[in-house]
Amino acid sequence: MKPKFGAKKPELSELGRIKDRITFLYLEHAKLNRQDSAIVVADSKGTVFVPAGIISVLFLGPGVDITHRAMELIGDAGVSVVWVGERGVRHYAHGRPLSHSSALIEKQALLVSNTRSRISVARKMYQMRFPNEDVTGLTMQELRGKEGARIRQVYREQSRLTNVPWTKREYNHDDFDSGTPVNKALTAAHQALYGLSYSVIVASGASPALGFVHTGHDLSFVYDFADLYKAEFSIPTAFKMAAEFEEDKDIGSRTRLAMRDKFVDGKIMIRMVQDLKFLLEVEDEQDVEILGLWDDKIGLQKFGVQYSIYEENEI
């Protein structure tokens, strides 16, 4: 039998809690390997050793080569891996979430399956956009109307600040270049925000499909979640790009790069994780790997026990 090198797989109790880890680490144009319990990151500038136990989510951007041994360590340490475009602007694929816990997706499914709790979460989303108003008594129709008025106001305000003419939001899914410069920039900015939202949702262990406002699409929750940040991030960025590069045919790429620069400090990603857990009512303490057996009468039972058809007290 071959000897095993490096540290042993950590026990659950040894893994750092989510809030004690670096939330996200983005890497590009580098080679990743493993040495003991560290991920070895090598590029043209040198080599860095990153302890796997301090990372929650590893974003792998363009030009990354990663070895099997590195992936083995990453999996054992409970690190989620997401393959993305430059600076996280595009989401291509993802591995398992950090904690291997089903707490978020179970709570999400529970909340979305009940009309009363679904409306409650939807109202929380709208309340985050209207912090100074009480929306608890509003219907979904009233909330949609209120949000529509808010977004139209945001468009008008950004138009005034940037001197970019604005009439209405219009775009053709099949013909990006047919739109006005500001509409093309808005499409590119929103797509970048959707990509980042997708990455955060799947890395945290929630479902991108189970939306509370949007429904019927495999990205319904992504659209729900991204809407929380459009007025602050993607809309101002799009208008700024339209003001600076109105005649540039490559305004879509310029806008994506501008959104990339807004993501680079990681602050929005940390905020997204906190907001996601707030919406789904899940605390950090619940993000642990607990594998059990479901029972409809006596609750959660231990996994790994050889049960008989008789309970012990009946034998």
DSSP, residue by residue, the chain: -PPPPSPPPPPGGGSPPGGGSEEEEEE-SEEEEEETTEEEEEETTEEEEEEGGGEEEEEE-TTEEE-HHHHHHHHHTT-EEEEESGGG-SEEEE---SS---HHHHHHHHHHTSHHHHHHHHHHHHHHH-TTS--TT--HHHHHHHHHHHHHHHHHHHHHHHT---------TT-GGGS-HHHHHHHHHHHHHHHHHHHHHHHHT--SS--SSS-SSTTHHHHHHHTTTIIIIIHHHHHHHHHH-TT-TTHHHHHHHHHHHHHTTSHHHHHHHHHHHHHHT--GGG-S---EE--TTT--EESS----SS-GGG-
Does residue 227 have a known ligand-binding role? yes
Side chain identity at 194, as an amino acid letter?
A: Y
pLDDT class for 62, splitting at 50, 70, 90?
very high
> What distance in Å separates the CA atoms of residue 166 and residue 185, rounded to the nearest whole number?
13
Q: How many other CB atoms sit within 10 Å of the CB of residue 174?
A: 6
Does residue 214 have a known ligand-binding role? yes
Q: What's residue 80's pLDDT?
A: 75
Q: Is the pLDDT of residue 194 over 70?
A: yes
Q: What's residue 120's pLDDT?
A: 95
Of 296, 283, 299, 305, residue with least CA distance to 103 = 283
Q: What's residue 311's pLDDT?
A: 53
Query: Mean pLDDT over residues 38-58, rounded?
Result: 87
**pTM for this structure?**
0.73
Query: Mean pLDDT over residues 41-49, rounded?
Result: 93
Q: What's residue 39's pLDDT?
A: 92
Query: Mean pLDDT over residues 259-281, rounded?
Result: 86
Q: Is the pLDDT of residue 161 over 90?
A: yes
pLDDT class for 22, splitting at 50, 70, 90?
low
> Which residue ranges make up each domain of the chain?
12-94, 103-284
> What distance in Å separates the CA atoms of residue 285 and residue 274, rounded to the nearest whole number?
13
| CATH number of this structure's domain 103-284, picked from the four choices 1.10.760.10, 1.10.10.10, 1.20.120.920, 3.40.50.720 | 1.20.120.920
Q: Which CATH number is 12-94 given?
A: 3.100.10.20
pLDDT class for 304, splitting at 50, 70, 90?
low
pLDDT class for 13, splitting at 50, 70, 90?
very low
pLDDT class for 296, splitting at 50, 70, 90?
low
Q: What's residue 16's pLDDT?
A: 40
Q: Is the pLDDT of residue 290 over 60?
A: no
Residue predicted with more confidence, 302 or 134: 134
Tens of pLDDT, residue by residue over 216-256, are 998 999 999 999 999 999 999 999 999 998 777 789 889 98
Is the CB of residue 115 less than 8 Å from the CB of residue 217? no
Q: What's residue 292's pLDDT?
A: 60
Q: Is the pLDDT of residue 2 over 60?
A: no
Q: What's residue 286's pLDDT?
A: 52
